[in-house]
Structure 1
Amino acid sequence: MPTIVLRLSAAIALSLLAAAAGAQTTQNPAPAASAQAPKAKAAEAEPMRIERLHVDYRVEPNGAYAERREMAVKVLEERAVESAKHRSIGYSASLQRLDVIAAYTQKADGRRVEVPKSNYQVETNEGRAGGGPAFSDQATTSVVFPDVAVGDTVVLDYRLTATQPMFDGHFSEIESFGGSERYYGDVRVRIDAPAAMTAQARGFGGLKTVRDEVAGGRRLIEWSYQNREPVEDETNDYSVYQVERFPGFAFSTFPGYADIARAYAARALPKAEPSARVRKLADEIAAGKIAPREVAQALYEWVSTQINYGGNCIGLGAVVPRDQAFVLDNRLGDCKDHATLLQALLSAKGIESTQALINAGNVYSLPSVPVVASVNHVLNYLPGLDLYVDATAKGIPFGELPAVVAGKPVLRIDRPDLAARTPGFAPLRNRQRMVSRLVILEDGSVKGQVEVELAGLPAISSRAGLRELSAEDAKGLVKKMFQSSGLTAEGSFTQDDPKPLRAEHRYRAEFEVKEAMPMPGAFPLGPLFFNPMPVSALTGSAGADALDTLTGDGTCGGGRSEEIYRIEFPKTVKVIAVPPDLSLRSGDSSYVARYKLDGQVLEASRVIEDATAGPVCSNEYNRTYRDFARKVRPNLKAQVVYQQ
């Protein structure tokens, strides 16, 4: 079912996943229309369009390079004027030099208005008194174009020169452009590299090879692309991104992904040798624990909770982990620092571990050309426990993985040639059971209690959201929650200790809500208090009409949600209608609802089991589940009707 992953992670668990997303992710444009595809509708007119994009790379024998990029954007509508005025260039301040060659507004009448020096703003991360930045050297130069109006074109031409390569003797680059719905007047990509550097090069999604030749000891490659008649893009789910479906190119001097893993290992492994300080720390953290899993869990939880996330992850000049002492002194590090420190701690206790490179974006199959940007995050693998762990993703229990790295190919640096993947989601691993006992008074006020039991992602999410809830805030939680809906309430809230990193969670709320129900009236059954995964969340794809035209795979996931209600109505009220019983099954997924009215008491239960494993499902599978969800939805919307 294609929406549950988003529902479970976005509301509360977003903070859990942000750390893993700290690594750069591949841009996610729309795909290009296939030459064999049916004729598509004309795309909506864009408020501005790219008239020219020229990209040139000159690569040196050691892998350092200079990148020149010129873009000309024409403003077609008034609503695009403000956006067109501003352009930003991001780069590594310590490893790259920026030279703006030209920046101007080309007026519709042919005049050229140069950007004055006062219209440049530079933001740089740097240390005190000229010291180097410890955790991030990213800089941004912002350019504000003067006198921009409809019909004008803004032009920015600049060069970035790298003083050293990411990996000695290697260069790799991958880039995607907009698909069929985006106008491109003239795209040209050139790569000029030493002929002695063996390299793979590929243009895809409509890029044409203009030349690929060797001259004067240099290999010269050029691609071109244009899309001057945009058509509507009917693809609307980019949760699974396959870069080679889109217009773009890839170039790499790495023979294979295993070579990227080896290059990273050469720099990272020496940093993972445990120092005397790390050995002492490991003994303190694991004191009293003997079983390898218990020791590993203690060390993982310490790194996850005590080392904050900060800085570059995998990027230009950021492939060497920092020294263990530096990370410990500052209690701060990026993904490779977390992974390297954890490996050192585990090694100090005799537990074998390694590091693995992975994509923390929406890439579930690596491009055919091996480029470093495709693996932008680092985690650990423990062979003795056959377990992947990601200490960078805060709040994730030992033995679990954040959704952004589940079910993906990984490059293990201990076995670079191994075709390995992280585990996906276990079917029905995500679970919620909610029991609501409610008494409705004659004026519509409601007295009640709700008990919720959670497992899997919902539990991780709720723990993350409630972890810092103080005892004082807990006292007012019920009041504030109902107050946000315009209701007056009093009550209490209790929960399991949310501090430990666990994939289970329980909480309970008692409340009295003034005039919550209309008298007489009707209402659909549904949770009266916060819960992460109601039954309705597992029918979120019911309105996904776009699945009918979607091609390709999409992300997915499932779970089990159970809701039990006991609702007592006042003697002055007559219940005249309750929802009908319903039992449905689709493959391994099911929905069962039972409603029983006994005098003034309504007892209801409904259980949905979405057996989707994920994290990737075919569009056919998603459509089948969508059709099942559509049959469930009317039952969830059916109302309890009563009169006085």
Structure 2
Amino acid sequence: MRRFGMALGLWLGIHTLAAAQSAPIQPPSPSPSVPAPAPAPALTPASPGAAAGFSPGIAYEKRHVDYTVERDGRYVKETESLRLVLNDAGVREATQILMPYSASLQTAEVVFVRVIAADGEVTEVSASAIFDQEPYASQGAPTFSDQKVKAIVLPQIKPGVRIHLKTRLTQRTPLLPGAFSAVGFVSPHSARRDFVFTVTAPPELPMHVQTIDLPHTRDVLGDGRVRHTFRGETAEAVPQEVGSVARIDYSPRMVVSSMAGGADLAATYRALVGDPTRPTERVTALARDITRGQTEPRAQARALYDWVRLNIRYVNVVLARGGFVPRPLDTILANGYGDCKDSAVLLGALLRAVGIESTPVLINAGNSYWTPEPGAVEAFNHMITYVPALDIYLDATGRYHRFETLPGADAGKRVLHVATGIWARTPPTARGTLSSQQLIDVADDGSATVRTVVRGDGEAASMLRGLFAGLQAAPDSQLVTALLAQAGANGTGTLRRPDVNADAPETTIGFDYTTRGFLDVPGPGAIRIPATFTGGLSPLISQTRVRSFPFPCPGGVMREDIELRLPANVRLLRTPVDETRALQMDGGRTTYRATHVREGRVLKLTREIASETAQPVCRAATPEAQQAFVEQVQRHLRAQMLYE
């Protein structure tokens, strides 16, 4: 979805009806309990050249994270941090600190929390200011969870205050029996110093380490335990860039795991879940019913995939190890809902029931493309299915994605096949096109009739279906009002919605309307082309940023075709010239093209942004090249058409 998300995020303001974003929780840190330290000099924000006007709200003057691991994979994680509140943004950020945990697997404790005023006065925060809360449901999906959050409400927070916090998290039951893994990173977007991350483990549970840009030492303690220590450098903060890959992909980072690699992780996971795709009698009967009359494996797989994606509702169930272990097949069928693991194993069982083998696949379906070499369950957040005989990946939670297509969040990812422990990579998102056609027929009095059709194919078609599925509860009158406002129209309109359950490579939406005062007649004046469903190309170009961090490579085409029919009493004086501009990136290329054709009183305009890529992650061109491309394209898009 990242391919067209930027354009559709601007889509006539209706996107405000669709979804809310969740704020990330910053990871904590550890060290022994110590008295409240004396005030230290503040860490400075980013250097003047980093970003004009940028100032982080919080600086970490201390951040220690210490794991003490048992031989069976249980552990105690102690986190100690000293935060300095720099400004009002930091006050908002630090007024409440959250500590998430699993009630069935973990015990969470706040060892101490102290607020240290600028003059050194220390206030101990009492237990009455610490609350257990339910977490917010993620991604707008229904959730059944035993996840809890300890919320620490802090008093007297103002710029110059320091917050000294120590917490303890005890993992009573390992996520994977007999195994331990931890992944950490040092974000460049936080001002920091004195960052220390340690893992202490018995010799019976040897650890495998990967570190990138973080110094690492290994020490054997007097009792034979081994301690791995990682230290981060003091650094100023730099601002985040919207649309970049996950912070862990470009931050100094480390992985410590008892599992040497993907094969060990897959074997450990198989030992936990057993054989979840073994068909039951009910599953076998259902598979035969769904595929009745079909003998070709691809047709059978398509029918089974379509049944799961359309009949198993996504509900996030995180109870005990339920975040990792799928539920029994017959329970999934009886409920008619499940999460990604449930949908993946049900699809696998249905395939197996008709003789088609498959494997569950572990994947990170977010904006992270980096995977560690040691086995680490923290590197994955989603499960899909791979069918070797057909060489296809299927995501049964992709309700609006056709067979043999993957959601953009699954594309181009390094994945782990659970059945074999083999690393592989999903295919890139198929090139898609989001196009709009506008026919604008202007009458003698300056009013106009506008007929608009928006078409999406590939990933754009799936996204349009999903977007309108989320708007099913919004009446046409509400959407039409928003569309007219987006177009700057004063009139009435009719909306033609897509079939959100259609299994077609293309999705079509229509909007026809009339508007008064499209042109001021008689002129002279300038013609403004009204925005369409996609918001037009101008907002998309304006969001192209001068980047420092890697980002998911854009792909696909966004195109608009406009036919403007003018009355006999209106004469065009000037139209924009044709234009072609290109921006070469490390990993891809973006091209802007525009053509204009006059045929009597008819003007035909075609404008498009086409992005091509050979890899999932790109790095930007030079700042000068990025800025020049944006300015040149924006100048062309702003060029006026004059009439009299």
Q: TM-score, length-normalised on structure 1?
A: 0.83
CA gap of 1:512–1:309, structure 2 versus 1, over 3 A, is: same
Is 1:157 the counterpart of 2:166? The answer is yes
Return the alpha-carbon distance in structure 2 between the equivalents of residues 25 and 284 of structure 1: 46
* Alpha-carbon distance in structure 2 between the residues aligned to 1:501 and 1:598: 39
Q: Distance in 1 between matches of 2:25 and 2:401?
A: 21
Work out whether 1:323 is the aligned partner of 2:328: yes
User: 1:264/1:605 Cα in 2 relative to 1: closer, same or farther (>3 Å)?
Assistant: same
CA-to-partner distance for each residue in 1:274-303, whole Å, 9 max, x for gaps? 111112222333344443223222222222
Aligned 8 A contact 1:313 1:377 in 2:
no
Q: What are the within-5 Å matches in structure 2 for residues 76-95 of structure 1?
A: 76-95=86-105
Equivalent position of 2:63 in the other structure = 53
Deviations, residues 572-598 of structure 1 (Å, cap 9, x unaligned): 222111122345678887655432334
Verify: 1:641 aligned to 2:625, yes or no: no
Code of the residue aligned with 1:500 in structure 2: it is A
Query: C-alpha separation between the residues in 2 aligned to 1:309 and 1:196?
Result: 41
Per the TM alignment, residue 422 of structure 1 is displaced from its structure 2 partner at its CA by: 0.1
Q: How does 1:63-462 map to 2 (within 5 A)?
A: 63-124=73-134, 135-179=144-188, 182-207=190-215, 209=217, 212-227=219-234, 230-231=235-236, 233=238, 236=241, 239-241=244-246, 243=248, 245-311=250-316, 318-417=323-422, 419-426=423-430, 429-462=431-464
Task: Point out where structure 2 has 5 or more consecutive residues left out of the alignment.
Answer: 28-46, 136-141
1:565 to 562, 566, 570: 562
CA contact (8 A) 2:191 2:237 kept: no
2:533 aligned partner? 530
254 and 518 in structure 1: CA distance in 2 versus 1, 3 angstrom threshold:
farther
Offset at 1:627? 5.7
Amino acid at match of 1:147: Q
Whether the aligned pair in 2 keeps the contact of 1:596 and 1:603 (CA below 8 Å) is yes
CA distance in 2, matches of 1:84, 1:434: 45
SS of aligned partner of 2:347: helix
Shift of 1:616: 2.1
CA change 1:465–1:84 in 2 (3 A) is closer
Is the contact between residue 95 and residue 162 of structure 1 (CA under 8 Å) also seen in structure 2? yes
- Paired with 1:287 and 1:527, the residues of 2 have a C-alpha distance of 51
* Cα shift at 1:500: 2.0
- 1:207/1:247 contact within 8 Å kept: no
Aligned length: 609
Task: Compute the displacement of 1:174 (Å).
Answer: 0.8
Gaps of 5+ in 1: 28-38, 126-132
Aligned residue type for 1:424: P
Measure the CA separation in 2 of the matches of 1:276 and 1:120.
50
Q: Distance in 1 between matches of 2:160 and 2:331?
A: 54
Tell me, in whole angstroms, the C-alpha distance in 1 between the residues paired with 2:180 and 2:529. 56
The match for 1:488 is 490
Where 1:300 maps in the other structure, the secondary structure is helix
Q: Which sits farther off after the overlay, 472-481 or 48-57?
A: 472-481
Instruction: Please name the residue that 1:35 is paired with.
Output: none
- C-alpha spacing 1:178/1:603, structure 2 compared with 1 (3 Å): closer
SS at 1:611 equivalent:
strand
- Residue 33 of structure 1 aligns with which residue? none
Residues 261, 357 of structure 1: 8 Å contact kept: no
Q: Structure 1's 439 and 342: CA in aligned 2 closer, same or farther, altered over 3 A?
A: same
For 1:594, the aligned partner's letter is T
- Alpha-carbon distance in structure 2 between the residues aligned to 1:112 and 1:351: 66
Query: Which one is further off, 354-363 or 293-302?
Result: 293-302
Give yes or no for contact 2:447–2:517 (8 Å, CA) kept in 1. yes
Indicate how the Cα distance of structure 1 residues 496 and 149 shifts in structure 2: closer, same or farther if over 3 A, else same: closer
Moved more, 256-265 or 107-116: 107-116
Shift of 1:363: 2.5
Q: C-alpha displacement at 1:466, in angstroms?
A: 2.5
* Partners of 1:487 and 1:513 within 8 A in 2: yes
Q: Which has the higher contact order (CA 8 A, sep 6+)?
A: 1
Please give the alpha-carbon distance, in whole angstroms, between the structure 1 residues aligned to 2:249 and 2:576. Answer: 49
The 1:605–1:247 alpha-carbon spacing in structure 2 relative to 1, beyond 3 Å, is closer
SS in 2 for 1:270: coil
Q: Verify the 8 A CA contact 2:577 2:596 in the aligned structure 1.
A: yes
| AA matched with 2:570 | V
Pairing 1:538-549 to 2, within 5 Å after superposition: 539=541, 543-544=544-545, 546-547=546-547
C-alpha distance 113-237 of structure 1, shift in aligned 2 (>3 A): closer
The Cα offsets for residues 426-460 of structure 1, whole Å up to 9 and x where unpaired, read as 4xx21144332221123432113223332112222
Q: Deviations over 1:116-139 (max 9, x none)?
A: 2321211248xxxxxxx9942100
User: What is the identity, as a one-letter code, of the residue corresponding to 1:105?
Assistant: V
* Equivalent position of 2:43 in the other structure: none
Report the more deviating stretch, 495-504 or 87-96.
Answer: 495-504
Per-residue CA deviations over 1:29-63 (Å, capped at 9, x if unaligned) read: xxxxxxxxxx9857855443222222221111111
Letter in 2 for 1:516: F
For the aligned residues, what is the CA RMSD? 3.8
Q: Which residue matches 2:35?
A: none
Q: 1:477 to 1:214 in 2, by over 3 A?
A: closer
Distance 2:92 2:455 in 1: 50
**Which moves more between the two structures, 556-565 or 153-162?**
556-565
Judge conservation of contact 2:457–2:506 (CA < 8 Å) in 1: yes
Q: Distance in 1 between matches of 2:486 and 2:582?
A: 37
Moved more, 301-310 or 92-101: 301-310
Aligned equivalents of 1:148 and 1:538: distance in 2?
A: 39
Residues 630 and 243 of structure 1: CA distance in aligned 2, closer, same or farther (over 3 Å):
same
Say whether the 8 Å CA contact 1:286–1:295 is kept in structure 2: yes
Cα distance in 2 for residues equivalent to 1:92 and 1:495: 42
Q: Which amino acid aligns with 2:180?
A: F
| Distance in 2 of aligned mates of 1:537 and 1:472 | 25
**1:595 alignment partner AA:** H
In 1, the alpha carbon distance for the partners of 2:299 and 2:580 equals 43
Q: Which residue of 1 aligns with 2:33?
A: none
- Once residues 454 and 26 of structure 2 are traced to their aligned partners in structure 1, the CA distance between those partners, rounded to angstroms, is 38
String of CA shifts for 1:87-141, please: whole Å, max 9, x gaps.
111000001112221122233444432222321211248xxxxxxx994210011
Distance 2:415 2:622 in 1: 26
Separation in 1 of the partners of 2:225 and 2:338?
A: 40
1:638 partner letter:
A
Given that 1:53 and 1:71 are in contact with CA atoms closer than 8 Å, whether structure 2 keeps it comes out as: yes
SS of match in other structure, 2:275: helix
Q: Distance between the aligned counterparts of 1:387 and 1:226, measured in 2?
A: 44
Residue identity opposite 1:513 in structure 2: T
